[in-house]
Chain A
Amino acid sequence: MTASSGPVRHVRPDGRRRPRARRSAASTVAGVLGELLITVGVLLGLFVVWQLWWTDVQGAREQAEVLQSMGWEVPADEAVEVRRDEPPVAEQPAVGDVFGQLFVPRWDDAVIPLAQGTDKRTILDKAMAGHYPETAMPGAVGNFSLAAHRMTYGAPFHRVEELEVGDPLVVRSNDTWYVYRVTEGFVVQPNQVEVIAPVPGQPGVEPTQRFLTLTTCHPIGLNSLRERFIVHAELDYWLPVADGLPPDLVGHVPDELVAAPPEAAEGADGSAPAGLAGVRAVDTVTGPTNGGR
């Protein structure tokens, strides 16, 4: 207890150090306010990082999970013939159901799951394309219309502007391929709902053709709310999945979706020599199964 004359530190009775200098109320308020502003700034920065980067990471992961849980393999061989008669049309699924896939060779062979409804959180943010429930189903007379993100959340329709007239857009339902061809792409205002009318651009007119429409945001950037990018396509042909791969998809399907040819799998199994160590034998057996995923 010799500190009374000491110049430096004030020590409270409980032994804890005191704040270095006494502050006025105003400077305390300014200090807290300053730290709050810094905090808000950091949080805004974090939000940008989340929006521009993390939603892509998460969206891609969720899309892969959906595709894997669907487990739809595609046949390895090209179909012998395609059909241009009346295609089978599925019932409208329940909202939220995943009912199909969209194959886009132009986008580096992208495969995008299709779900019923255009809810942001449960469908679009999972890097799926959402089907406007009031529009036709794939293959039906009318306008099968889809929406998906163009940026962030996996951005399935990011490269929508690269599509060219004549490009195939292949929709797959459980057992049918529907091959549409792009007819046009253009920009509209967000309220121009006539683009998803049964006859695109002509609401109220009775349709006779089978259309497909993609809607996504435009332009890319923070002002993406301003307009929408629209792509129209028309059905060219269809075929049952059991018949094989549509000619337009040959060489344009991700390897992991292709069903392993049954004879190759058999060969690998059959050729495993009986006398090998257990580990090797297990490897040989599981090999073809993994390859077939």
Chain B
Amino acid sequence: MMYGALWRVLPGPAWLRVLLLLVLAAAVVLVCFEWLFPIVAEYMPFNETTVEGTGG
């Protein structure tokens, strides 16, 4: 559905669309790794290393 629509919106022959999709996927991964996940990780309970009530 959504992805089908995305495929139809993309211009050009199939190989170009595949290429564009790969670029898009890479961009999504980059945004996740650099911005989204570090922010989400703030709210995750793992990786607590400090004894509490003492900052951090």
Q: How far is the CB of B12 from chain A (nearest CB, A)?
A: 16
In the complex, are the beta carbons of B1 and A31 less than 8 A apart?
Answer: yes
Is B53 an interface position by the 8 A CB rule?
yes
Chain A residues whose CB sits within 8 angstroms of the CB of B41 once the complex forms:
51
Pick the contact of B52: A130, A148, A190 (CB < 8 A).
A190
Give chain B's interface secondary structure class.
loop
CB atoms of A47 and B37 under 8 A apart: yes
Q: A47-B40, A54-B33 are known contacts. Are A32 and B48 too (CB-CB below 8 A)? A: no
Binary interface encoding of chain B residues 32-56 relative to chain A, with 1 for a CB under 8 A from any of its CBs, else 0:
1100011011100111111111111
Taking a contact as CB atoms closer than 8 A, the residue among A32, A35, A50, A157 that contacts B49 in the complex is: A157
Contact A28 B1 (CB under 8 A): yes
Q: Report the contact-size class of chain B (Cβ under 8 Å from the partner).
A: 20 to 34
> B51 and A130: CB pair below 8 A?
no
CB-CB under 8 A from B33, the residues of chain A are 46, 50, 54
CB <8 Å contact, B51 and A133: no
Q: B22 near A: Cβ within 8 Å? A: no
Q: Which residues of A contact B (CB under 8 A)?
A: 28, 31-32, 34-36, 43, 46-47, 50-51, 54, 117-121, 124-125, 130, 132-134, 147-153, 157, 188, 190-193, 195-196, 215-217, 222, 224-225, 228
Q: Does B15 sit at the interface, judged by CB under 8 A? A: no
- Complex interface: chain A residues within 8 A of B40 (CB): 47
Q: Are B47 and A133 in contact (CB under 8 A)?
A: no
Contact B49 A150 (CB under 8 A): yes
Is the beta-carbon distance between A196 and B54 smaller than 8 angstroms? yes
Give the shortest distance, in Å, between B24 (CB) and chain A (any CB): 13
